[in-house]
Structure 1
Amino acid sequence: MAQLSQDLHQFFIEEPSAEQVTLASVLELAGERTFGFLFVLLALPSALPIPAAGYSVPFGIVMLLLAAQLIVGAKTPWLPSRIMHHPIAIKRVQGFVKSGIPWMQKIERVSKPRLTPVCTSRVGQVFIGLAITLMSVSMMIPIPGTNTLPAMGIFVTGFGLLDDDGAISLAGMLLCLCGATLTLSILYALSVGGSSLYDWLRVGFKSLMGK
């Protein structure tokens, strides 16, 4: 699984077998590292420097379900049949796979099994699951700036799970922390700004009415 970029390039770019693809068919590439594979693949569209539109909410929901299963100790992920067999046009997938492969290759060059308890122990999996849960929720918030960095955090954390590379997963969780900080800052700024705007309008209305 260390060469995920090659597998995805062959599956989607070199030898596409149909005009549509399902998650169930792609999972044939995953081997035993299903959780990490799914997190990497589902976070990729939103983690790109220019995110692919329309994926943050549906993929965020799926990753939220997967993260919950990781937290409770599931050995293999489960997703509803409707999600597993929902067809997606392969041309849409080819676009973000092509854009994501160079980033995957950069991580693959340094990825190797190390600090494995981070990825394999129950405590490590709970922390990873919680981090991905929070970032999945952040991805679903329809506010600019709350999608890309959280998706990057999930992408890198998931890559660590692929090779039991605890160092990469820790780096991913650090990105998740940065993503959480950014999201909370944006929400706070909007809250304060919204309140200030409301107060300004209220005062202006009272002045207009002569009160």
Structure 2
Amino acid sequence: MSHAPSPHTFLQSLEAMADEAGEEGYSLRAIFARLDERAFGAGLFLLALPCAIPFLYLVPQVVSLPMMALTLQMLAGREEPWLPEKFGERRIDKPGLTRMSRFGRKWFGWLEKISHPRMSWLTGKSAERVLALFLTVFCASILLPIPSTNTVPGIGVAIIAFGLMSRDGLLVILGLIIGTAWIALLITAALYGFDAATDLLRALLGRG
């Protein structure tokens, strides 16, 4: 007997999954299967959420390499996302899922309200490989062993991914601006001194 498709939005589905999870949570493969998402945008948005949460440790490191695996598949022109087994078996526990869903609703719920198809040429297959190149660089910056450096690129990737899901090119542009500005800051830090850039980052995060 067939069932009608769920009317839930992506964030609502994530909230429901966090509520239902046991203490051990779910593997990334199980999460992808439960959300029944086959688009790169949905997978990247899901994985970018924990990276965008300030001062959340361990979970961003769990998902950053799988994020890069997805962006490299986009770059190669693959039609659907696929997680290698060693990435797919990585787990996000219930507290991590709960923080992801709450953070997603609090900080990205507005995207569901304002997003709609526009400038859709920026979300099509012809543009996807160019976006994948930027996304790969943004995701690679999350791997840097510097505290609190996952938040800004995580936000950039999440907004781009939501734009891909909703075919909203304006959101894609916004995410590109955020991510590119972050990469420019990292380059500035490398060229002009890590200490000065660290002071600026602390000031931006209100921890100075």
The TM-score, its normalising length taken from structure 1, stands at 0.80
**Aligned residues, how many?**
190
1:191 deviation in Å?
6.2
2:142 corresponds to: 139
CA contact (8 A) 2:62 2:90 kept: no
1:74-93 equivalence runs, <5 A: 74-93=78-97
1:44 corresponds to: 49
CA contact (8 A) 2:45 2:157 kept: yes
CA contact (8 A) 1:146 1:182 kept: no
Structure 2 residue 54 is the aligned partner of structure 1 residue 60:
no
1:36 deviation in Å?
1.0
Structure 2 residue 100 is the aligned partner of structure 1 residue 96:
yes
Q: Distance in 2 between matches of 1:4 and 1:101?
A: 10
Q: Distance in 2 between matches of 1:2 and 1:189?
A: 48
Change (3 A) 1:102 1:157: same
Runs of 4+ in 1 over 6 A off after TM superposition: none
Q: Distance in 2 between matches of 1:178 and 1:2?
A: 34
Counterpart residue type for residue 3 of structure 1: T
The residue matched to 1:179 in structure 2 has which SS?
Answer: helix
Of residues 70, 75, 85, the one that matches 1:71 is 75
Query: Which has the larger Rg?
Result: 1
1:17 deviation in Å?
5.9
Name stretches of at least 5 consecutive residues in structure 2 with no aligned partner. Answer: 1-6, 197-208
Counterpart residue type for residue 12 of structure 1: A
1:30 deviation in Å?
4.2
Counterpart residue type for residue 7 of structure 1: S
Q: Distance in 1 between matches of 2:167 and 2:26?
A: 28
CA contact (8 A) 2:37 2:43 kept: no
Q: Distance in 2 between matches of 1:120 and 1:31?
A: 21
Q: Distance in 2 between matches of 1:46 and 1:100?
A: 11
The TM-score, its normalising length taken from structure 2, stands at 0.81
1:9 corresponds to: 15
CA contact (8 A) 1:21 1:87 kept: yes
2:167 corresponds to: 164
Change (3 A) 1:2 1:175: farther
Percent identity (aligned): 25
